[in-house]
Amino acid sequence: MTEQITDQLAILGHPQRISVFRMLMRRFPDTVPAGELATELDIKASTLSNYLNALQRSGLVTQERSGTSLLYSVDMKNVQHMLDFLVLDCCRGRPDICMPFSQGNDTMTDRKFNVLFLCVGNSARSIFAESLLRELGNDRFNVYSAGTQPTSALNPFAVQVLKDKGHDTSVLRSKHMSEFAAAGAPEMDFVFTVCNQAANEECPAWEGQPISGHWGMVDPVKATGTDAEKSLAFQNAYGALKRRIEAFTSLPVESLDRIALQTAVDDIGRTSLEDTK
């Protein structure tokens, strides 16, 4: 066990290998194509291959093939073993030196929970999620959305879908995520990324250690074709998010501890988008 852990730590000690590992952690539970990792991290394909092979040999990353693409993901079971060794064995699980890990079994308090949805433009997917949770949450949540690179206006196809579904769009606007990292901003309990690019980007360390989830999906803004075909892409995105948010609102948030909640949020992220239509 000790030899395996020291090998894993040595591999993560390389600045670019740990950058690959960090991105895969941010995208968990997704699998990520090697080409996307190379592009986002600006690493040559041959160099990235060496880094991924080392992470695989250590047991921290797994590989699967889809057609001609190689897809990578974090092996969370082995990552947890590594962290358990550091926290429970090396420092004997002492809460005074192992915080915030000692908070892992705390349940959420009985109050309204603050939820933030992030995407890049904050013009469609995160706006859908904000509107849906506001409607389906039965007044249990304060809901917000933002973008890492927000547009100047909401996408008109997205606005039309929301109006057709009976949502109040007057309360919506496109905004930068920095609004929620500033002094005086509400402290988030949950932060969800609903696009891959937002998950790939370096985001602020949110105050209060919110539970995070990645619910990535295709960007309907990039749909091409006739207006009817574009509208269908937005309808599909809305339907996929609705299923995920219905699953989220069915969770007994008040009674689950943080570990159970994080697991449930990750499970929702694993839901096939084909199953949500």
Same-domain check for residues 134 and 22:
no
Per-residue pLDDT band at 276 (split at 50, 70, 90): very low
Nearest C-alpha neighbor of 190 from the set 108, 258, 114, 269: 114
Contact in structure between 54 and 11 (CB atoms under 8 Å): yes
For residues 27-40, average pLDDT: 89
Note whether residue 108 is domain-resident. no
Based on DSSP, count helices (H) and strands (E) in the chain, helices before strands.
11, 7
- 72 and 156 share one domain: no
Q: How confident is the model at residue 34 (pLDDT cuts 50, 70, 90)?
A: very high
Instruction: Assess whether 258 and 169 both reside in one domain.
Output: yes
Q: How many Cβ atoms from other residues are within 10 Å of residue 204's Cβ?
A: 11
Structure-model confidence comparison of residues 40 and 198, the more confident one: 40
Contact 129, 156 (CB under 8 A): no
Whether residue 100 is contained in a domain is answered as no
Number of structural domains (the chain) is 2
- For residues 163 and 191, state if they share a domain: yes
> What digits encode the pLDDT tens for the residues 162-193?
999 999 999 999 999 999 988 889 999 999 99
Which residue in this structure is represented by tokens 């109006």? 163
Across 162-171, 217-226, 243-252, 268-277, least confident range: 268-277
Q: Are 201 and 178 in contact (CB under 8 A)?
A: no
pLDDT in tens, 91-129: 666 655 565 544 545 555 667 899 999 999 999 999 999
Same domain flag for 91 and 202: no
Are 155 and 20 in the same domain?
no
Q: How far is residue 161 CA from its own chain's centroid? A: 24
Query: How far, in Å, CA of 250 to CA of 112, rounded?
Result: 15
pLDDT band at 257 (very low <50, low <70, confident <90, very high): confident
DSSP 8-state assignment for residue 182: S
Average pLDDT over residues 218-224: 91
Is residue 102 in some structural domain? no
Q: Quote the pLDDT of residue 102.
A: 44
270 or 143, higher pLDDT = 143
Give me the CATH number covering residue 167.
3.40.50.2300
Average pLDDT over residues 232-242: 95
Q: What is the pLDDT of residue 108?
A: 57
Is 80 a member of any domain? yes
How does residue 55 score in pLDDT terms, banded at 50, 70 and 90? very high
Q: 32 lies in which domain range?
A: 2-95
More confident residue, 106 or 13: 13
- pTM of the predicted protein model: 0.70
Within the chain, residue ranges assigned H as helices are 2-12, 15-27, 34-41, 45-57, 76-84, 95-98, 125-136, 156-164, 196-200, 227-249, 258-270
Residue 277: which pLDDT band, with cuts at 50, 70 and 90?
A: very low
pLDDT at residue 274 tops 60: no
Whether residues 39 and 117 fall in one domain: no
76 lies in the same domain as 160: no
Residues 45 and 128 reside in one and the same domain: no
44 vs 7: CA distance, rounded Å: 24
Is 237 or 1 the better-scoring residue by pLDDT? 237
Q: Would you place residue 202 in the very low, low, confident or very high pLDDT band (cuts 50, 70, 90)?
A: low
Strand 113-119 to strand 141-147: parallel, antiparallel, or no bridges (unpaired)? Answer: parallel
Task: Read off the DSSP letter of residue 180.
Answer: G
